[in-house]
Amino acid sequence: MAYEIGKLNHETLLGPIAAAEDALARLDERVARSEVGAGFAERADFFDSVSSMWVGGELVHLEDLVLHDAQMDIRAPSHELVIAHRIVRARRRVSRNDPGWAVSRAGIMALAGVAEEPSAEAKPADRGGEGVELDLLDHDALSPEFAEIDEILARTKWLVDGNEPAEQRKREPEPSVGELLIRDPDWDEGERIGEWLALVKKVEPIPATLAAAVLWDAWEYLEPLQRQHWLGQVLVSDFLRSRGKVRSHLLTYAVGLREVPRERRRSRDRTTRLVAFLDAMGSAAAVGMKDIDRLTLAKRQLCRKAAGRRTTSSLPVAIDLLLSRPIVSAHMVAKAAKITPRGALNLVSELGVREMTGRGRYRAWGVL
C-alpha cells in the first residue's frame, strides 16, 4: 500500500505552486510584523479546528468550542466538540515546540496519544544515588522480611517472565464486536506512519508547497491513524513551518481546504487533487490576510476608547482577550481581568463590541 510519488506534471503545477508560495510568504511577513499577530495566531487555532471538523463531515459550533476551551460549557460537550478541542490543543502543542517536531515519529505518537514501546537496548536511567541509603541499613534486622519478599517474588516470577505454567495459562480474550467496529486489528499504524515519514524525506528536494500537497495526498491515501485522521492537517502545517515558508504562526490549512470544492479534493486524478491542495494554501493565506486587516482596524478603534484611562484600568486586558478569541463571554472577561461579572459587562458596554449570540442569557461578544 506504499504511496509512490511518480512523475509529477510540472507544467500544470507550476502556476499553483508560484501562487501558493507567494501567498504564504506575504501572510507570514504580515503576521510577523503585525501588532495583532499573537492574537491572530490564537484565534486561528479555533477557526482551523472548526474547519477541520467540517472537512471531515462534522459540524461544531465555534461558540461551543471557545466556551469549552475556557471550561465554561453551557451544556454537556458532545463527542465532536471534544475532538475539536483536541485539535486546538494539538495545534498549541505544535506551536510551542520547535518547527518540524510534529513531523517525526515521536511527535506523531505524542500528538496521537499512542505510547511507544521502549527499545530493548535502552539503558536504565541513572537515579542520582537513589537507594544508596539501603546499603547502610542493618540487613540482619530485616532478614525475615526480605526472606518473605524473596519467596513472593519466586512464586510470581512467571508473571514477569510471561512463561506461566500450563495449568495457569489462560486463553486470551477475543476482541468483541464493538472493538472490531471501532478498531481494525489488521491496521498497522506503526508501519503506515513509517511509510509516511519515509515520504517526508523523499520530498525534501521538492518545493515546500508542492511537498506539503504531496504529503497531504499521501496522508489521505495511507490513512496512518484510524481515529485521528485530522492530525494530518496539523502535520502539513508544521511541515511548512519546518521548511521556512510560514515561520510566524501555524497555517490554518483546514480553512483553505474548506474553501475548495469536494469534487476537486476527492478527484481521481492526482494532479487535480494536488492543484486543489495548492489552491487551499492560497485560500488559507487570503483568509488570514483579511483577518489581519480586520483585527488591526478593530484594535485601533478599541484602543481609542481606552486612551486616557488609568494605568490600573482593565480595558487593555479586555481588548487583548477580544483580539485573541473569536468570541468572549462576561465570565471569560471577568476571569482574565480578575473582576466581577458585573464589572466585565460594564467593560464590554464601554468598548461597544458587537453581541454575537443574540440571546438574553449566555451572551457572547466578538470582533467580526
- Summarised one tens digit per residue, pLDDT across range 61-96 is 998 999 899 888 888 899 999 999 999 999 999 999
State phi, psi for 355 to the nearest 5 degrees.
Answer: -80, 130
Contact 289, 27 (CB under 8 A): yes
pLDDT at 355: 85
355: which DSSP letter? Answer: E
- Write out pLDDT tens, residues 307-328: 877 777 888 888 999 999 998 8
Contact 54, 247 (CB under 8 A): no
Question: What distance in Å separates the CA atoms of residue 114 and residue 108, rounded to the nearest whole number?
Answer: 8
C-alpha closest to that of 274 among 211, 221, 195, 203: 211
pLDDT at 157: 66
- Give 308's strand partners: none
Q: How many residues does the chain have?
A: 368
- Helix (H) or strand (E) run with residue 365 in it: strand 364-366
- Write out pLDDT tens, residues 88-144: 999 999 999 999 999 999 999 999 876 555 444 444 444 444 444 444 344 455 555
Q: Which three cell numbers stand for residue 325?
A: 478569541
- Give 255's strand partners: none
- Helix (H) or strand (E) run with residue 152 in it: helix 139-155
Cα separations in angstroms, 268 against 57, 157, 278, 339: 20, 57, 16, 57
Contact 250, 238 (CB under 8 A): yes
pLDDT at 204: 92
Question: What distance in Å separates the CA atoms of residue 125 and residue 135, rounded to the nearest whole number?
Answer: 20
Contact 251, 31 (CB under 8 A): no
State pTM to two decimals.
0.79
pLDDT at 360: 64
The full set of domains in the chain, from first to last, is 13-114+189-295 (1.10.3290), 308-366 (1.10.10)
